[in-house]
């Protein structure tokens, strides 16, 4: 049986424990970049989610 060690770099002990648990349970670091887009460029569903909720539509 071969044991390998992984080195995790963290700013403090709490962050180190969080990284160790994430590594232990297989959670991957989120590498995506989130950019804010204008509401006009978004899909109709997203526009509806952000719309004013004064209008109640019938379920179709």
Tell me which residue has tokens 């590498």: 31
pLDDT of 46: 83
Q: What is the pLDDT of residues 1-60, one digit of tens each?
A: 677 777 778 888 998 888 888 888 888 776 666 677 888 888 888 888 888 766 666 776
Look at residue 1 in the predicted model and tell me its pLDDT: 67
Which three-class secondary structure string do you get for the chain?
A: CCCCCCCCCCCCHHHHHHHHHHHHCCCCCCCCCCCCCCHHHCCHHHHHHHCCCCCCCCCC
Query: Residues 44, 55: contact at Cβ < 8 Å?
Result: no
**Cα separations in angstroms, 12 against 18, 21, 56:** 10, 14, 49
Is the pTM value of this prediction over 0.95?
no
């Amino acid at each position: 049986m071969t044991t390998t060690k992984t080195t995790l770099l963290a700013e403090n002990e709490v962050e180190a424990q969080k990284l160790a648990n994430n590594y232990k349970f297989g959670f991957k670091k989120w590498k995506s970049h989130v950019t804010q887009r204008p509401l006009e460029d978004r899909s109709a569903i997203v526009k509806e989610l952000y719309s004013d909720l004064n209008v109640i539509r019938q379920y179709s």
